[in-house]
A and B are shown apart, each in its own frame.
Chain A
């Protein structure tokens, strides 16, 4: 099946620093990528939808200036958590969709811990 690679799988950073997470589709062109966040014992919450070459669409309550999303190519999207704080500690997961397929493939997730 299609493979989506997310990197890094885990990261610990100091409060106030920025962290970049990469999401790559390895064997297909991802016209759309989705970024989710999952807090412990909660479900995945969609943060934003990213279409290649255009600005991301953020869900209500998600700060676009804090969570910068770039989808410059059909195989790569990045999420940058700027000025991270401990409350940003979470499991961030991307998923990628090819064309008009109804199904998306998930990356392995990135566990972010801000200390």
Chain B
């Protein structure tokens, strides 16, 4: 079993749609959690950190459920520019990141 499992996707949605990505992790000692966005042939860029209390940044909402070892990312009012691969990452306290395989989102006009 992989340490971090993500929805396989791909997700193809129309502009304006709401889309949710899920990710589960197996290491209960994981310390911190992140969502990254990766555009084709580029490095991952941090989208947002994920907290148990939930956090929101504009159209993006991230949530962590430690009991279920589950993190989520919700994108509201999808834009064409949101098309990318979204990676969840789980960090140990040593800062080592384990990534999910990524979920590809395509937003269509």
Contact = CB atoms under 8 A, between A and B. Distances in A.
B44 interface: yes
B96 A106 contact: no
Contacts of A68: none
A91 interface: yes
A46 interface: yes
Given A32-B94, A97-B95, A109 B43 contact: yes
Contacts of B100: 43
Instruction: Pick the 8 closest A-B CB pairs, nearest first.
Output: A102-B32, A97-B95, A109-B43, A43-B101, A43-B99, A44-B99, A106-B43, A108-B43
27 contacts: A6-B43, A32-B95, A34-B96, A34-B97, A42-B101, A43-B100, A44-B87, A44-B97, A45-B99, A46-B98, A91-B41, A93-B43, A93-B44, A101-B95, A102-B31, A102-B91, A102-B93, A102-B95, A103-B32, A103-B49, A103-B91, A103-B95, A104-B97, A106-B43, A106-B44, A106-B45, A108-B43
